[in-house]
A = this chain, B = another copy of it.
Amino acid sequence: MPRFTPPLRDLAFVLDDVLNADQHLAALPACKDISSADLQSITEEAGRFAAKEILPLNQVAHREGCTWHDGQVRTPTGFPAAYAQFKELGWPSLCAPVEAGGQGLPRLAFSLLAEMLSSCSHAFGMYACINHCASACLKHSASPELQQRWLPRLATGEVIASMCMTEPQAGSDIGLVLTRAQAHDDGSYRLQGSKIFASGAEQDLSDNNMHLVLARLPDAPPGSRGLSLFLVPKLLEDGTRNTVFCDGIEHKMGLHGSATCALRFEQAVGWLVGAPHRGLAAMFPMMNEARLFTGLQALGLSEQALQNALDYAQERRQGRAPGSSDTSLLIAHADVQRMLLAQKAWTEGARVFTHWTALLIDVAEHHPDAVLRERTAATVGLLTPIIKGFLAENAQQSLSLALQVFGGHGYVEETGIEQLVRDARVLTLYEGTTGIQAQDLLLRKVLPDQAQQLNVLISEMHEWLAGADPKHLHGWETSLPETLALLQSLTQMLLEQQDTMAALQASTPYLRIAGHAVLAYLWARSTYAASPQAAQSSIWHQGKLDTATYYRTQLLPEILHQAAALRALPTHTPVIVE
């Protein structure tokens, strides 16, 4: 069985040495009592629970999958018991508001929990973390009364939320949704229609499901501006069964333990969340959380794969490395070092990226300075499609390299590594494909405000760099400004073009470059944090510097490729025929 050891050392390094998380939290009245030790103990507890209770279920879940019979879904062996324990231990309430019975911990705590769970079982993590995303939606968009009724149940985990957007004809283009809703005398609504790809929308971990459903009111304008959001529980508050039915589950390439449901609403009772026809805006906080969660899944899956690839490279002997008189460990070979360093660079980079963003969310929510709150929220808005679009793609590379370290044995199910590759393949597809993220970044976040928000972020990066002692920067003193300058010059070029078609073409390479710019900044900060102890011969910190150098010299130059590609984009619509 693949192993998982919570990466406590790297997490402590990221939170304490790179991000100074406790100092940032201390500035937030709602979180001021959260110490570094508190964060560490949350991580330790989450890691212990995930490694002990969840990891052993993961391969079984891959083999068994979920089963559907007559409207009921059975999750894999052990999932219901593990979820009961998860509830029992209070994990669903971690970041829920105190007034809803939650523990009111910072968003960062969820980020740490989600990393651990995703490392141990992508599928279990889907059920366990969705309530966090749904709570964000209700807190932002639902009436106080609806919040009062449902937030506490999300916090206890007695109900499991689901996001019901997709229909067979409406995927990336949510404006094509056909599900209809009609007002009822008592202030509730009746929903009629079908949804697909609703993760965990029917399951046997909790008695109740709470669907958040996009549907159309009778007077709705066409397209995505005519969608409204509804809360549709499986069991109504009096315990009666609502008329929403699960008609089947998908057989997928991976993520077998997570039930991907087709739902049918037959005049199902629901309540409006947010204003009529403003469903997309009402849903967005959930979608954003789901996108950030995808980044954490990318991180978690990459970490498990990396740990096992590293073990294998340290156990298995094949071939003779130069200078060796006997058969060498795999890790002695340059090509295996390359594959391990690339995995470390993507994975550890993703760790700083996701938890840094979690901390920004806390600042955006809780900082006393309203201007800073607003500015930070805009930064989070900018970073969200990058986390989703960039980290999900990087995870494909990272996991594929982990499998490659195992050679032919990586292709055999038994090793467990192929499951991680298959599970992770969904990351670039759900919650908006990579192409959708790229468009969101360039056409909705960067170009409309003339890159103002982007430039704020870049200025902050320059500011950090200006305050750093160059002797601890190990090459970043030139690589970081070069990377940021490239991003700014391409942004300027696209702003000047004022051409939507050109921007659409440019969006995917642009996303890659923007992602690298953020990662370069965070690897520069990691380098800076590791350098003093590396200078005192700490092997662990030397390893961090070597990984940073690998990222800087071997992976970051992808921006040269992407920039050349972006600058040479065709000016006409290409002919594509067989």
Contacts and interface: CB of A to CB of B under 8 A. Distances in A.
A130 B385 CA distance: 47
Interface in A241-258: 250-254
Contacts of A542: 575
Chain copies in complex: 2
B576 A337 contact: yes
Contacts of A414: 251
Given A335-B507, A554-B565, A568-B554, A404 B429 contact: yes
A438 interface: yes
A307 B546 contact: no
A505 interface: yes
B411 A334 contact: no
Interface string A336-350: 111111001000000
A318 interface: yes
Contacts of A421: 253, 425
A576 B322 contact: no
A310 interface: yes
Given A171-B318, A407-B433, A564-B557, A337 B425 contact: no
B253 A413 contact: yes
Contacts of A439: 335
Interface in A512-532: none
Contacts of A561: 557-558, 560-561
Nearest to A419: B253
Query: Main secondary structure on chain A at its contact with chain B?
Result: helix
Given A501-B322, A576-B341, A172 B508 contact: no
A570 B500 CA distance: 42
Given A413-B253, A539-B575, A408 B501 contact: no
Contact of A433 (B323, B404, B413, B540): B404
Contacts of A418: 252-253, 425
Q: How large is the interface on A (under 10, 10 to 19, 20 to 34, 35 or more residues)?
A: 35 or more
A408 B435 contact: no
A428 interface: yes
A7 interface: yes
A434 B10 CA distance: 31
A542 B428 CA distance: 32
A319 B568 contact: no
B543 A338 contact: no
Contacts of A429: 404, 407-408, 410-411
Contacts of A341: 574, 576
A171 to B, nearest CB: 5
A492 interface: no
Nearest to A320: B173
A141 to B, nearest CB: 25
Interface centre among A166, A403, A539, A577 (most CB of B within 10 A): A577
A569 B338 CA distance: 10
A508 B338 contact: yes
A250 B166 CA distance: 37
A225 interface: no
A197 interface: yes
Given A252-B412, A310-B576, A504-B322, A570 B558 contact: no
A331 interface: yes
A428 B404 contact: yes
A451 interface: no
A546 B572 CA distance: 10
Contacts of A254: 411
A318 to B, nearest CB: 4
Given A546-B574, A554-B565, 10 more contacts: A172-B407, A173-B317, A250-B412, A251-B413, A333-B435, A336-B435, A337-B576, A396-B400, A404-B434, A418-B425
Return the 5 tightest CB-CB contacts between A and B, nearest first: A335-B435, A553-B568, A253-B418, A557-B564, A543-B575
19 contacts: A171-B318, A171-B409, A173-B318, A252-B411, A254-B411, A334-B501, A334-B504, A335-B439, A337-B574, A338-B505, A340-B576, A341-B576, A404-B428, A408-B426, A408-B429, A421-B425, A542-B575, A543-B577, A557-B568
Interface of A: 5, 7, 9-10, 166, 170-173, 176, 197, 250-254, 307, 310, 317-319, 322-323, 327, 331, 333-341, 344, 396, 400, 403-404, 407-414, 418, 421-422, 425-426, 428-430, 433-435, 438-439, 500-501, 504-505, 507-508, 539-540, 542-543, 546-547, 549-550, 553-555, 557-558, 560-561, 564-565, 568-570, 573-578
